[in-house]
Amino acid sequence: MPTLHDCLGLIASTKVAARDTESAYVLRSRLKRSLLAVSQLAAEHAGISGPLMPEDIEKIRSTEPTSAKILEICLSLLGKTRSLCQPSEALDARWQSGWETVRSDLTVLEHELRLIVTTPHEDVVQV
Amino acid sequence: MTKDSIILLYGSYARGDADSVSDIDVLVVSSIKPQDDEISKLLPTSYKGILHTSHYTWKEFSVMSSYGSLFLHHIAAEAKILGFGGDALNHLNHLLSELPSYQLAKRDLSSFRITVNDVTIGLEIGLPPCFELAVLGGVARHASVLGCYIMGKPTYGRKSISQAAELFQMSAAIKDLELAHKFRLYEEGQCEIPSEVSLTDVTRTVQIVSTFLDRIEEAIYADAA
């Protein structure tokens, strides 16, 4: 199960990929991996089963506020990934124009993730 | 349908080899993306797959044509027209008729390699092996399409994996590469989970895909020389 440190590392590597204007393919898979890891951590924090695939995030419901907020952001980012990516081709130009909104959400996600450390739920948090 | 739009069917339904897990691939080139129900009205009622619509503006399409996008080669090879407005068909034909050979093969290969390396990181931090196998399945499919193209045997359907594996003397790896791609389909909601998968399975597939990329790279550099 990914730790907070792992999740922050994945988000950082996603941001690194975004600096390269020709890396839409890498960016797409890194973002999906980040969302999967983060949602698994959030689910663990809430004491519920995490997703196996990024597309499963929308099936997860948490009543624990921090986890619920994190899952909501992940779901929103997944939706943005779908709209930025075509089934046919990861188009660099579209990522370049859409990246700012994704980066903003990732920054919020990083902030919310750090709250997991300060709001332990039961005793299932691994940091 | 707007005056500048064209709607095309491509993929397995256009080729006529659709099966129970096939999705319906549609390309729309227009200034405004139409609603899916508007597109569905153009499709035969016998089509049962999930509708996957790619939408590009004419500006994006023009950029793609400038570097000889593999996707546009795919469209030029097999797409069928579902509908168009105004002068859109002439515009499309003009761009496709001037399509150069694909220019970004080395860049794609570099992206594939980074993505395969990322799989190892995912496994190390305990992400589900089925997800990482799906990532490898995506790389296998995209690398196969690229490999077939480089070898002068363009193939865009699911058979591209077996075709590429044979072209690059990796027939023994077809089963593993196709299984990885089935996990990709599972990730996209197109089928049930194909099988149980272990860390060892994914690690083996990482090696296979890496070798596959090595062979394609050799062909790309040989082609450039």
B123-144 pLDDT, tens digit per residue, is 999 999 999 999 999 999 999 9
- Where is average pLDDT lowest: A7-21, B102-116, B122-136? A7-21
Q: Do A55 and B69 touch (CB under 8 A)?
A: no
The C-alpha angle with vertex B202 and arms to A41 and B106, in degrees rounded to 5, equals: 100
Q: What is the pLDDT of residue B2?
A: 81
3-class SS at B13?
Answer: helix
| CB neighbourhood size of B224 (10 A) | 9
Q: Please say which residue of B69, B97, B125 terminates a domain.
A: B97
Q: Please say which residue of B39, B67, B97 terminates a domain.
A: B97
Q: Do B127 and A40 touch (CB under 8 A)?
A: yes
Whether B158 and B215 share a structural domain: yes
Whether B138 and B179 share a structural domain: yes
Q: Is residue B204 part of a domain?
A: yes
Q: Do B188 and A37 touch (CB under 8 A)?
A: no
Q: Please say which residue of B47, B66, B97 terminates a domain.
A: B97
Whether B33 and B125 share a structural domain: no
**Mean pLDDT in residue range B37-50:** 91
A15-28 pLDDT tens trace: 988 877 667 889 88
Q: From the list A30, A52, A88, which residue is nearest B130 (CB)?
A: A52
Count of domains observed in chain B: 2
B186-197 pLDDT tens trace: 998 888 999 999
A29-75 pLDDT tens trace: 999 999 999 999 999 999 999 999 999 999 998 889 999 999 999 99
What does the alpha-carbon distance between residue A41 and residue A126 come to, in Å, rounded to a whole number? Answer: 8
What does the alpha-carbon distance between residue B208 and residue B211 come to, in Å, rounded to a whole number? Answer: 5
Output the domain CATH number for residue B149: 1.20.120
Chain A residues with beta carbon closer than 8 angstroms to that of B52: 87
Whether B120 and B143 share a structural domain: yes
Q: Do A33 and B131 touch (CB under 8 A)?
A: yes
Shortest distance between the Cα of A6 and any Cα of chain B, in A, equals: 7
Nearest residue on chain A to B129, judged by CA atoms? Answer: A52
Q: Is residue B109 part of a domain?
A: yes
Q: Is residue B155 part of a domain?
A: yes
Whether B121 and B208 share a structural domain: yes
Whether B76 and B111 share a structural domain: no
- To the nearest 10°, the Cα dihedral for B59, B61, B62, B64? 130
Q: Do A87 and B52 touch (CB under 8 A)?
A: yes
Strands B6-10, B51-56: parallel, antiparallel or unpaired by DSSP? unpaired
| CB neighbourhood size of B15 (10 A) | 16
What does the alpha-carbon distance between residue B68 and residue B6 come to, in Å, rounded to a whole number? Answer: 20
Whether B201 and B136 share a structural domain: yes
Residues spanned by the domain of B151: 105-224
Whether B110 and B187 share a structural domain: yes
Nearest residue on chain B to A95, judged by CA atoms? Answer: B60
Nearest CA among B156, B146, B59 for reference residue B108 = B146
Q: B114: alpha, beta or left, given left = phi > 0 and alpha = psi -120 to 50?
A: alpha
DSSP labels, B166-181: HHTT-GGGHHHHHHHH
| CB neighbourhood size of A121 (10 A) | 16
Whether B92 and B110 share a structural domain: no
Whether B180 and B161 share a structural domain: yes
Say what the pTM is: 0.91
Whether B53 and B13 share a structural domain: yes
A10 within 8 A of A4, measured Cβ to Cβ: no
Q: Which of A78, A83, A88, A95 to mutate to test the interface with B (most CBs of B within 10 A)?
A: A88
Q: Where are the alpha helices (DSSP H) in B26-67?
A: 36-40, 58-66
What does the alpha-carbon distance between residue B99 and residue B204 come to, in Å, rounded to a whole number? Answer: 38
Output the domain CATH number for residue B66: 3.30.460.10
The crossing angle, in degrees rounded to 10, of helices B70-78 and B129-150 is: 70
Strands (E), chain B: 6-10, 24-29, 51-56, 80-84
Tell me the sheet residues that pair with B29: B6, B56
Chain B residues with beta carbon closer than 8 angstroms to that of A53: 128, 130-131, 134, 186-187
Whether B109 and B186 share a structural domain: yes
